[in-house]
Amino acid sequence: MILPVAVARGVAEGDVDRVYRRWTRSRIVAGSTLRTAAGVVEVVAVEQVDPAAITDDDARAAGEQSADRVRRAFRGAPSDPVFRIRLRFAGTDPRESLRDATGDLDEVVATLDRMDRRSRRGPWTRPTLRLLAELPGVRAAELAERAGRDTLAFKRDVRALKELGLTESLETGYRLSPRGAALLARP
């Protein structure tokens, strides 16, 4: 489950404690955690609810203005069940501390080398980092096109680099973290 940045920030600030989703079946379970732009969010409970019973107060607790707006945002078939997913802020994303760790990067370089060797398409990690350095904040679809990649595959690649603390997601696009910039600056 993906949380919009505004909702994730609302959870982190204590203004949002739930979201609503229409799914054919529940896609998440209580106890799961989500890494978001605002930090780690924990799923506290998942309950099937009657969409007609969602109140304006419920909507505000979900970061929306009204129950009607919540209901209009549902995707899927009208016959699919609606779930209330209760959330709580569980802390900062552990990758955040990695982003600023610009010291010894030998282990990261070795990891990138392994990723490149295992890739069926050849080395991709440094070219992707250079692309993000050249075009911060550019939409993923445009970056993927420039890289000659499918958008979803490109996003997976960037997530792999993000796991190493090398990139940061923006509202639109990505940028290098200080760690990623330090790695590219190495001779």
Closest among 4, 10, 26 to 85, alpha carbons compared: 26
pLDDT of res. 149: 95
Number of structural domains, the chain? 2
Same domain, 69 and 148: no
Q: Could you say which DSSP state residue 24 is in? A: S
pLDDT tens digits, 7-16: 999 999 999 9
Domain, as residue range, for 42: 5-93
Query: Does the predicted model carry a pTM greater than 0.95?
Result: no
Instruction: Show the tokens assigned to 118.
Output: 């295992």
Residue 42 main-chain phi, psi, to 5 deg: -100, 140
Residues of the chain short of pLDDT 70, as ranges, are none
Rounded (5°) CA angle 102-105-109 = 135
pLDDT of res. 182: 94
Same domain, 168 and 106: yes
Other C-beta atoms within 10 Å of 159: how many? 13
Residue that is last in its domain, among 93, 122, 147: 93
Same domain, 88 and 100: no
Instruction: Show the tokens assigned to 87.
Output: 């959330």
Distance CA 34, CA 26 (A): 15
Residue that is last in its domain, among 93, 119, 138: 93
Same domain, 155 and 88: no
Pairing of strands 174-176, 167-169: antiparallel
